[in-house]
Structure 1
Amino acid sequence: MRKHRLIATMLGVGYFPVAPGTAGSMAGVVILFLTNMFLHYLGGAQPAILLINVAMTLIVFFIGAYSIKKLETIWEHDASKIVIDEVIGVWIAAYALPPHWKYYLAALLLFRFFDIVKPMFIKRIDVMQNHWSVMLDDVLAGIYSSIMLQCLILFNLF
């Protein structure tokens, strides 16, 4: 069970006493930013970096969902200390961004907005009450954030 706790809490970040979801999102965006800056430094092209990001997300998504399922018997549904879903969501929000910190900060802020407000279909997923819904509502919040941010960049509004 210890490994599942470490995964679900993103190595303990979920135990942060104030706003653990935001702390998990911040940790996630920092990890992705540093990973992508390193890949850019190595000369990685944007499509290759995006492919690596998607692979990372898929691996962590399924491992995270499995860990959440294992913890359902001892923790309440979508306990605030479970932040691996926020990591996944903010990674999706930050897909294919230019290599500058301001875009990653915008992805973080947009993701937290959609994750907290839960507009449109996000709330429908959130009420399903299973390990998949814990992950999928954040996936959808990340998708909404990514679409909005990419549109802002495309139309030179950011």
Structure 2
Amino acid sequence: MKRLAELIATVCGVGYLRPAPGTWGSLVALPLGWLVHVVGGFPLFLLAIVATFFKGLWATRLMTRDSDDHDPSEIVIDEVAGQLIALAPLSYSAWSMGLEITDLWPGWIAAFLLFRLFDISKPWLVGWADRRGDPLGVMLDDVIAGVFAALSVMLLAGLWHGVMGW
């Protein structure tokens, strides 16, 4: 079980890449999100987010049990979950409007950069979750960063397409 937990938590070893394993974890979420969307649209995308969160929580619990480090840098499944949340508005928009998800490429760039910004800077609730010092906090800080990024992507899309008329 410990080996399976390590494979999940490190996203098949991606968490061991240096430098910036969290950024590598976020990058892995991009093709994964694209694939999930292409295979099953937004409904499967939501299911993937939920499954990633719960698998990540389980794996993080096992990986950090009996450890002084509550959030080892090699655990990047939390970044995958958060990045998928940041991409969710793009999956929904493409799915509901019958667009190719790749047509929304500026949103993908914004979602990636905004998620990394919120994950690294840990503002407000992101920092609160990170300070919990437990496996739920490990997952939750990235979930909240993903929600902040998703809301920011929607705001930017509204400004770009609505206010600016492009």
The TM tier, using the shorter chain, reads 0.7 to 0.9
Question: Structure 1: 5+ residue runs without aligned partners?
Answer: none
Task: Name the counterpart of 2:98.
Answer: none
How far does the alpha carbon of each residue in 1:80-133 deviate from its partner, in whole angstroms, 9 at most, with x for none? 000000000000000031423332121111000000001111111110011100
How far does the alpha carbon of each residue in 1:5-26 deviate from its partner, in whole angstroms, 9 at most, with x for none? 0000001000002100000000
Task: Name the counterpart of 2:111.
Answer: 107
Task: Name the counterpart of 1:130.
Answer: 134
Correspondence list, 1:46-61, <5 A:
49-61=41-53
- Measure the CA separation in 1 of the matches of 2:36 and 2:109: 15
Q: 4+ residue stretches of structure 1 with deviation over 3 A?
A: none
Task: Name the counterpart of 2:97.
Answer: none
Partner of 1:77: helix, strand, or coil? coil
- Measure the CA separation in 1 of the matches of 2:121 and 2:64: 24
Question: Matched residue pairs, number?
Answer: 149
- Measure the CA separation in 1 of the matches of 2:14 and 2:44: 24
Partner of 1:79: helix, strand, or coil? coil
Amino acid at match of 1:86: E
1:95 aligns with 2:96: no
- Measure the CA separation in 1 of the matches of 2:146 and 2:9: 18
Amino acid at match of 1:138: D
Task: Name the counterpart of 1:155.
Answer: 159
- Measure the CA separation in 2 of the matches of 1:62 and 1:102: 29
Task: Name the counterpart of 2:35.
Answer: 34
Percent of aligned pairs sharing the same letter: 37
Shift of residue 51 of structure 1?
A: 2.0
Please tell me whether the aligned partners of residues 50 and 96 of structure 1 are also in contact (alpha carbons under 8 angstroms).
no
- Measure the CA separation in 2 of the matches of 1:28 and 1:92: 10
RMSD, matched Cα = 1.6
> Which one has a larger percent helix, Structure 1 or Structure 2?
2
How far does the alpha carbon of each residue in 1:43-78 deviate from its partner, in whole angstroms, 9 at most, with x for none? x6xxxx222111111111111101110111355211
Shift of residue 134 of structure 1?
A: 0.3
- Measure the CA separation in 2 of the matches of 1:74 and 1:108: 33
- Measure the CA separation in 2 of the matches of 1:109 and 1:89: 12
Amino acid at match of 2:17: F
Shift of residue 33 of structure 1?
A: 1.9
TM-score of the pair, normalised by structure 2: 0.84
Amino acid at match of 2:58: Y
Please tell me whether the aligned partners of residues 86 and 115 of structure 2 are also in contact (alpha carbons under 8 angstroms).
yes
Task: Name the counterpart of 1:25.
Answer: 26
TM-score of the pair, normalised by structure 1: 0.88
